[in-house]
Structure 1
Amino acid sequence: MIKALTFDVWDTILNEDKFYQLLSINIGKKLGKSGEEVFKNIMSIDRDAIKIRLEGGFKNIIYDTAEYFSNRLGLKNQEDLFNSVIEIIESEEICSLAFEDSISSIHEIKKMGMKIGLVGNVLFWPGMITRLILKRNGLLDYFDATIFQDEVGYQKPSKEIFQIASKRLNVSLNELGHIGDSLENDFVGAISSGMYGFLIKRDLNANYIELGKKAYAIRSLSFLSEIIKKINKA
C-alpha cells in the first residue's frame, strides 16, 4: 500500500531544458554568443557533471559544480554563473517551467489524502533556489517535505536520502512511492530501497506499463492517481 509519494524535480515536474534555455540566453549575452550555442554546450556539460556527481567527484557539490560549469562555459568565475541564475529566476519566464500535467496531477494526489514530498539532487544551484522556482510556478505549497542533496549530504540513488524522506513523511519505505525521470537515480534508487518506483517516460507508447510488483513506467503524471488507487485496492 502506498501512503506517501515523493517526486523528483527536474524533467519530472519542471522542464529542465526550458531552465537551461533561459540560462543560456542570459550567459550568451555576457559571452557574446548565441543562446543556442551556449545551450548545446551547457547540455553537454550537464551530462558530464551528472556522471562525475554520481561517482562522488564533487566534494563541495555547489561550489565545485559551479567552478566546473564556469570553466567549461568560459565565464570569468562562479559569481558570473550565480548572477545569471539569480537574474533568470527574477524574470517572468521562470514562471512557465512546470509541465502541463504537474499541478493538476499533484493536486489530485493531495485530494486522495496522501502526503507528498520532493527528493532532489543538485548541481550549481542549491535546493533553496529550486524551492523558489517551484514557488514561482505554483507548486511548492503542495509539498509536505522537500529534501535536497546539498542540505542532507546524500544524493539519489542512495537509500539514505529516501530514508530521510520517509521519516519526514512519517511512513515506512515500503509504504512510499517515488516518481522521477532518471532510470538509475530515481527508478532503480527507489526500487532498491524497498519503495514503489515510477519512471516517467513522456514518449511511452502506452499510458503506463507495469514492470514488476512495485515498478511502473508512465507516460504522464496524470496516470499516477489511477495506478495508486489500483495498488491500494489490491
Structure 2
Amino acid sequence: MTALLHKLVSDNFMTRMYTGAMEAGVKHIFFPVQDEALKDSPSARAVQERHDAWAADIPKDDDALWHWLAGLDDASRMALLAHCVSYGVNALYERPNPHSAGGVSQHTLDMRLAQADRLTRATGLDIVEAGWRPTFGNYLSRVTKPRILEAVREGAGERAAELIDHLKKGDMAKEAARLLADSGWLPEPLRLAGVDGDPASDAGGGEEAEGSELPDFLSTDDDSESPADGEDDERHLVAAE
C-alpha cells in the first residue's frame, strides 16, 4: 500500500517526473467540452479544497514522502488513496461509434455507465445534493428546444413549459434554467438507473415551480427553432461530476 500511494501521490502532487520502481497509475479523465462555470461549481471547489489540504501536508522529498505515508493511520491512507484514484473515474457519455476503432462501442459504454451507477450507490452520491443544477451553459443551451420543454415539463410542470414554448432558444434555455433551479431535475444521463436497469423515474417532482411567470419582455417573443437547434442533443451533452 505504501508503494502504491507513493507512486500515486508523486503523480498527483509532484512536478517532477516519477522514475521509481512502481509501474502503476491512474489515467485522469477530462471533459472534451465543458461549461466555463464548471470550475466554480460546488463539487469542483470541494475537490480542489481537498487537494490543497493534502498538498499542504505532503512532503516534497522522495524519502520523506515514503516515511510520511508509512506513518499515516489506515483511515488517512484510504482517504488519500480514494482522492488519487477519483481522478480516474470515467462516467462520461459518448456517442457509440461502431465504424471506427477510435470510438467507444455500445457494449463498452453500457459497462462504463453501469459501473458508474454502481459506484454512485456504493458512495451514496447525490448529484443534486452535491450542487448540480441544469444551467444555460452546462445543459440547456446544448440541447434542442423540444428537449428543453421536456425538461421543464418533467421538473416544473406542464404550465411552466407552456409559458416558455413560444420563446427563441436562447431565451427559452435561460428561462428553463430559472424554472428548474430548485426542482431537483436531472437529465437522463445523470439519473441513477433503477435496480432493474430502467432509468430512475423520479427526475423531478413535476410540480408547478414557484415564480413560474415570465418576465414581461419575454412574454410575447416568438421564433421557430433554427436548423442548428435540431441537431441531436446528445452530441453536445456534457454530463457534469
Is TM (by shorter chain) over 0.5? Answer: no
- For Structure 1 versus Structure 2, the TM-score category normalised by the shorter chain is under 0.3
Pick the structure with more helix per residue. Answer: 1
Pick the structure with more strand per residue. Answer: 1
Normalization by structure 1: what TM-score?
Answer: 0.27
Normalization by structure 2: what TM-score?
Answer: 0.27
Task: Report the structure number with the largest CA radius of gyration.
Answer: 2
